[in-house]
Structure 1
Amino acid sequence: MKEILSVDHVSFAYPTDDEEVKRNAVDDVSFTIHDGEWIAIVGHNGSGKSTLAKLMIGLLFPDEGNIHVFLEQLTARNIWDVRSKMGIVFQNPDNQFVGSTVQDDVAFALENKGVPFEEMVTVVRESLTLVKMEDFLDHEPHHLSGGQKQRVAIAGALALKPNLLIMDEATSMLDPQGREEVIQIVSELKRTTDLTVISITHDLEEALLADRIIVMNQGKVLDIGTPEEIFSDGDKLESIGLDIPFAMNMSNLIRQNGLDLAGEHMTEEELVNELWTSHYNK
């Protein structure tokens, strides 16, 4: 598989008043992400995942180690060229809006790249259609719901046809409905395109959709694996302040109360299906 992004022994520390007191926010972190993967980076507050996100998009640069994006080392000289191949969606979509209408906002980056007007109109509509916001072309972004705002932010990122979409806590400020809307949109994009997705998140239900999960703790990589591999060791996650998905918690409680279940259930749908087919639909 083609390498999209690699982090090679990267460390970063924020300056402090006491130069002798230094704790790396990111401490000797290494991993590689390949074309078409969905990677979720999870961890509690202060685990280093947000700092890692800033390093991957060039808002910060490592004190030690290197980051390569599209096989090119990320530096201050090439940051703008590399970012032009990325789509970036932050936690608060209001901080990303620059246009007075939805279509103006999505068109902003295209205008900066000098895309011809006729092509720009087509791309804006296509991008908004991808996130099911084509009926909101002339709406003011600030009057949209939280989920709709984040979908517009994703459309703006997709308009540049990026090879890589990075979402930094993009669903953390949304209500359950808005969170579900955004996750469904990204899942569908991942299914129908070759887009590579990196999702920095504290939402374990969102992380379940990833191909692999990177668990951060105290600035280090604690574990890397598939969702099944990561969540199978609930004690390790709970020891660093993380929980396991609701369906797995419920499965364990059901077993403790004497009802035998065939396997691990990552989602509520899987659990309900087994309960229905194996225990109640007889």
Structure 2
Amino acid sequence: MDLNIMSFENVTFTYMPDNESVRPAVEGLSFSIKQGEWIALVGHNGSGKSTIAKLMNGLLFPQSGTVTAMDQKMSEESLWEIRSQMGMVFQNPDNQFVGATVQDDVAFALENNGVPHAEMVQRVHESLRQVKMEEYLNHEPHHLSGGQKQRVAIAGALALRPRLLILDEATSMLDPQGRMEVIETIRELREATGLTVISITHDLEEAALADRILVMNAGHKQVEGTPEDVFFAGNKLTELGLDLPFAMRMSKLLTEAGVQLSNEHMSEDRLVEDLWTFYSKK
């Protein structure tokens, strides 16, 4: 039986609720996320993504509606129990480091949670191995590349053994190589562990890897579905100020130029494979 790990039920939040001229940041929002899913939450600036992230981890509470996480209603009483089962990775990796070395940084939250030393060492090594950063155990975090820093931040979250990992624009400040490293790390982790992932992003290349996409606009859910469902409604996305993944844009241009493709492709690998097949027949 599939269990919901997070759900919003008719959630509304306004930053200035007494001012009727201020529209809600999130209004009447409902969705649910099942154990083991990868959900991408996308939208342009001002769409409500950041507010949703704060509602998810209890930094904000809705004025109406209900946020439920880990089978508990989000409240002042349940907040810390819920947060103990979440890991979060934020936009700027430099703002997340507190340790002098990579292993110190990953161990920081474990120490604060009173994890015994022997177990703490085991968890640090295990989580760094999961993100392929174990060889950097004694490196200073600020000497790492952007992608490496985010992988260490992910290791710090994983060391707490969360049921849910929330990535809040975690790749937005990275160069293409760093972005690819982080996305590949998340994909491999999910396949290996069944971790539930919520990716809050404006990068549709990243969103294309998710099981399901929620598209937000002006505080409302506009589109929800698999990446195929969402991206093949391309006109609706462009009307909301979002672009299609590069491979889909290129597929359209190639088709318009007379290249016979089997489909519009969401990934560059599939597009290249299709092109190789097309030209190998000539």
**Could you say which TM-score interval applies, normalised by the shorter chain?**
over 0.9
CA contact (8 A) 2:89 2:153 kept: yes
Residues 247-266 of structure 1 correspond to what in structure 2 (within 5 A)?
247-266=247-266
- 1:203-240 CA-to-partner distances (Å, cap 9, x unmatched) read 11100100000000010000110000000011100001
How do residues 115-264 of structure 1 correspond to structure 2 at under 5 angstroms?
Answer: 115-264=115-264
CA distance in 2 between counterparts of 1:61 and 1:72 reads 14
CA deviations 1:238-269 (Å, max 9, x no partner) are 00100111111111111212223222211111
Name the CA distance, whole Å, in 1 between partners of 2:194 and 2:164.
9
Cα offsets for 1:11-53 (capped at 9, x unmatched): 111128x823120111110000001100000001110011111
- Helix, strand or coil for the counterpart of 1:237? helix
Measured in 1, the distance between the counterparts of 2:44 and 2:176 equals 20
Unmatched segments (≥5 aa) in structure 1:
none
Note the alpha carbon deviations across 1:103-136, whole angstroms, 9 max, x for none. Answer: 1111111111211111111110111111111111
Residues 146-172 of structure 1: per-residue CA shift (max 9 Å, x gap) = 111111100000001100000000000
Cα distance in structure 1, aligned partners of 2:35 and 2:251: 34
The match for 2:277 is 277
Aligned-partner SS, 2:65: strand
SS of the residue corresponding to residue 199 of structure 2 reads strand
Deviation at 1:76, TM superposition (A): 1.6
By how many angstroms is 1:280 displaced? 3.5
Q: Distance in 1 between matches of 2:278 and 2:128?
A: 43
Instruction: Measure, in 2, the Cα distance between the counterparts of 1:262 and 1:176.
Output: 28
The number of equivalent residue pairs is 281
Match of 1:8 in 2: 9
Q: 1:169-196: per-residue Cα shift (whole Å, max 9, x none)?
A: 0000001110000001000000101200
Are residues 1:19 and 2:33 paired? no
Mapped partners of 2:20, 2:274: distance in 1: 57
Number of the residue aligned with 1:267: 267
Which secondary structure state, in structure 2, belongs to the residue aligned with residue 88 of structure 1? Answer: strand
Indicate if the aligned counterparts of 2:247 and 2:267 stay in contact, CA closer than 8 A.
yes
- State percent identity of aligned pairs: 63
Structure 1 residue 98 displacement after superposition? 1.5
Question: Could you say what secondary structure the match of 2:22 adopts?
Answer: coil
Q: Which residue in the other structure is 2:34 paired with? A: 34
2:260–2:278: 8 Å Cα contact kept in structure 1? no
Q: TM-score, normalised by structure 2?
A: 0.97
Q: What's the secondary structure of 1:24's corresponding residue?
A: coil
SS in 2 for 1:30: strand
Alignment of 1:63-142 (within 5 A): 63-142=63-142
- So what's the TM-score if we normalise by structure 1? 0.97
Q: Which moved further from structure 2: 104-113 or 149-158? A: 104-113
Residue type at the aligned position of 2:253:
L
